[in-house]
Chain A
């Protein structure tokens, strides 16, 4: 189906570029030794003169932050510049205690990279390091700034290390933009540089979007405040519609920054080009230029964790998994990690994949289990698969035993024994049950004999029920077929 903006005499094409900020998983802040785990902390309790920007304090760069930033840039196939530096970005806001943010400007850490998205290369213009700002709390019912009589500042997040990743305007639809952010999140999670949590704000995304008309670049707007994958898709779709309508009605798109209002489902103008900030960037005098140690870069390259795309390829190549299975397993790093751990322990990647995707995910969702904390299921799964293979239980029983094992943390074999769930494969015993079922269901038998195949399944179900599901279904099938044949 064509999207509405594609139905036109003019060739209109959305042109989207993204700016993504990720918090780096360091123990301490970018320029001081305060901890970074601000979630759930008392306000203003993990701060020091440096991140508070107290007069006289000075920044010192965190080595680990540099390493994680380099790892990200390398994973995004960037060229690492040999000498980079920091700049000050000057603006006033209460969550910015120095009234400038230490960021990178003319010489970022990495440039000219790309990330592959379903075979298409999305260009990465630059990757750079910068410090985060604090948080504002607005004591209104909605928690929003409008209508707040005053605001409250928490400086805990000040100075938390961020990487900013800027793409080329290579994305052409809201869906592609969303998929890109998901892929990027997966990447930063896989290489251990960020937890990529959008809800907690450790991954944030802004977009630049314009509509090209017959190949001619349009005026772009910047969209802020998209706080979920769904918001990215909705906000961009809205903005495309808005801009397209302006263009089709002969108007002109205004260059401006717009705010996505998730509850109303619209973007509103935040500030125009005229009010655009004049950040007065200049080289940060309190830090010396950063000369990148080539050996460090090589070491980071050598020790690069497996990237999501390599992992997916490995699963296909070594385990023979299909596209769909791979896409489910790689939907989060945690699930992929659990899968790999299971396969290491159990082998049988296809079975494991199936069990995790169908049974485990359902149970985990039902019981609000965190995947990261679910490694205890591995021995249960191993045992259940063995019981199934040895024919001790049938498939249905295996599933319920696994579920009970996970929920009660009991050994599957114990459950089977305690409940007498062993599979019944004895033909004589089954034949007796089949006979009694047939005699009790004469209608169904007649209907089967008159050619209604469906009745067979009904009878099969009745037999299984009579055995409390323990009977070996293939034996039941065989015996049932034989008995019905003898009646005809």
Chain B
């Protein structure tokens, strides 16, 4: 197996033993990028020269005996996270030429941990989308099948991790944007509890739902990266003060006896793709084999979660994206007057889906519609959250498919927004409730497309999620499956 297809924890060991150097990993990763990036388009910005400079620095720090949890490990950053002095576009024309004067807290943390930033990955513009087709820099393609989408919005990060174009990646998840692409690309993606990871420097889509999450080749890497990025940040008022457990510990215990897992009946409808239904059946058996009890539960407001999400998220987005007006940074389309400049800049700068969501969000907050839409959605949000509270009285974890289908074809859903939105139907409720969930590979379809399963946990029970995910992964040995290099 080539270095670029190995998980970080293994590479760390090889570096520690002196078998390889950080540069060797970079060589392998950039060789792969050279090979596949033209087809995949995972990256918006590649930082090859900077990466090798960083590698030198990290080597020196390692030699001094510094304990660097991610020392020398390449990481790709979704281009929605601010990186000081490095163009940060959100895959939007409107941020073309925006070089943030500061680093996002998570970027600071991975740098401090010794990770090497090798590039900024593609996404749906401002994270609005489920296929990475809505990018001003062209779509990213799925490394398992280039006719298909990698999922979205963190499709660039997912494709890069799966294809060996990076070792680790960071994504952001507002309604499934880490988990769904992880599922489509056969990797691990975690949506942490709202408040566990600082949002400072994450360019906001929907502030009450956004969370940054690790996207990795296996569960152990996920634990490793979460350990680095989690924890209170004074710069984020919504960041929680928590005593962090040692997440790597979670990957050592694989006995699940006594653990109760629920499968919500609302998630297993006839509309589920047969290959997904089959993976769910198999997964259930695996968990039972591992000692867990699996039972059917109910989350009665499931069908209301998606419309609720598509009111709340655009509402917040319409406000969050109002600042892109051509005044201070990024794109300015000149106009005769201020009003013209605003209109021209925003109309030319934003893509279709972003405009659609800004319009919807503006509408649901506007005079006369606030109560009927926005306020109603906030109330239903409480019902959705209450469903989970109830369920967690009965079971410890909830098992669902990550998405109703495996990766779909490019262009398949782009013309019908609702069809596209349905791709997030199983991931969105977790964001509304502010709890945590992980997507891991549960198997493959007949077309050899990975199919993700989602495990949902109580707020701040990332440790437990990692534990059962790790047990599943060890049992099934599915995470080793890579589109290339096997």
Contacts and interface: CB of A to CB of B under 8 A. Distances in A.
Query: Does A touch B (CB under 8 Å) in the complex?
Result: yes
A100 B322 contact: yes
A49 interface: yes
A56 B101 contact: no
Contact of A52 (B206, B328, B342): B328
B238 interface: yes
B234 interface: yes
B329 A56 contact: no
Contact of B235 (A55, A60, A97): A60
A458 interface: no
Contact of A55 (B323, B327, B338): B323
B267 interface: no
B147 interface: no
Interface stretch (A285-293, A401-409, A428-436): A285-293
Nearest to B95: A55
B237 A54 contact: no
A59 interface: yes
Nearest to A287: B237
B284 interface: no
B81 to A, nearest CB: 7
B82 A56 contact: yes
Nearest to B361: A280
A212 interface: no
A53 interface: yes
Contacts of B238: 58, 285-288
Nearest to B330: A55
Contacts of B95: 55
A282 interface: yes
Interface in A286-324: 286-288
A216 B70 CA distance: 73
Nearest to B195: A288
B470 to A, nearest CB: 32
A332 interface: no
Contact of B319 (A57, A60, A282): A282
Interface stretch (B2-10, B197-205, B441-449): B197-205
Given A100-B322, A282-B374, A285-B207, A56 B100 contact: yes
Contacts of A126: none
Most chain B CB within 10 A, of A52, A94, A100, A282, is at A282
B365 interface: yes
Contacts, number: 100
B322 A61 contact: no
A89 to B, nearest CB: 10
A97 B237 contact: no
Contact of A99 (B98, B236, B325, B370): B325
B77 to A, nearest CB: 12
A56 B81 contact: yes
A333 interface: no
B235 A94 contact: no
Contacts of A213: none
A54 B100 contact: yes
B215 to A, nearest CB: 19
B104 interface: yes
A97 B327 contact: yes
A56 B203 contact: yes
A97 B82 contact: no
A218 B370 CA distance: 29
A88 interface: yes
B319 A88 contact: yes
A153 interface: yes
A245 B126 CA distance: 55
B125 to A, nearest CB: 13
A58 B98 contact: no
B323 A99 contact: yes
Nearest to B81: A56
A94 B366 CA distance: 22
Given A49-B101, A56-B201, A278-B366, A98 B207 contact: no
Interface residues of B, number: 42
Interface residues of A, number: 30
A443 B261 CA distance: 122
B234 A60 contact: yes
A282 B338 contact: no
Given A92-B342, A280-B365, A55 B203 contact: yes
Given A61-B237, A286-B237, A55 B319 contact: no
B367 interface: yes
A97 B328 contact: yes
Interface in A138-159: 151, 153, 155
Interface string B291-320: 000000000000000000000000110110
Given A58-B199, A58-B237, A288-B238, A53 B323 contact: yes
Interface in A19-72: 49, 52-61
Contacts of A60: 234-237
A90 interface: yes
Most chain B CB within 10 A, of A60, A61, A94, A280, is at A280
B104 to A, nearest CB: 6
Interface in A361-403: none
B82 A55 contact: yes
Contact of B325 (A49, A92, A278, A288): A92
Contacts of A97: 323, 327-328
B235 to A, nearest CB: 6
A68 B365 CA distance: 32
Interface string A127-143: 00000000000000000
A54 B338 CA distance: 20
Interface in A76-110: 88, 90, 92, 94, 97-100
Given A54-B329, A55-B203, A287-B237, A280 B323 contact: no
Interface string B69-99: 0000000000001100000101000010010
A57 B370 CA distance: 27
A45 to B, nearest CB: 14
B322 A56 contact: no
A151 B90 CA distance: 29
Nearest to A50: B235
A346 to B, nearest CB: 50
A282 B365 contact: yes
A88 B362 CA distance: 13
A286 B207 contact: yes
A287 B237 CA distance: 6
A90 B322 contact: yes
B21 to A, nearest CB: 33
B102 interface: yes
Given A49-B102, A100-B319, A285-B316, A56 B325 contact: no
A282 B203 CA distance: 19
Contacts of A151: 338
A290 to B, nearest CB: 10
Nearest to B342: A92
B45 interface: no
Interface in B187-238: 199-204, 206-208, 234-238
A278 B323 CA distance: 17
A56 B362 contact: no
A97 B234 CA distance: 22
Contacts of B342: 92
A94 B316 CA distance: 21
Contacts of B201: 56-57
A153 B323 contact: no
Contacts of B367: 278, 280
B200 A90 contact: no
Contacts of A285: 206-208, 238, 316
Please list the 6 inter-chain residue pairs (A to B) with the smallest Cβ-Cβ separation, ordered nearest first: A99-B322, A285-B208, A285-B207, A280-B365, A55-B203, A56-B201
7 contacts: A55-B323, A57-B201, A58-B199, A58-B238, A90-B319, A94-B327, A278-B367
Given A94-B325, A278-B366, 8 more contacts: A55-B82, A55-B88, A55-B95, A56-B100, A56-B201, A58-B235, A97-B327, A278-B367
Interface of A: 49, 52-61, 88, 90, 92, 94, 97-100, 151, 153, 155, 278, 280-282, 285-288
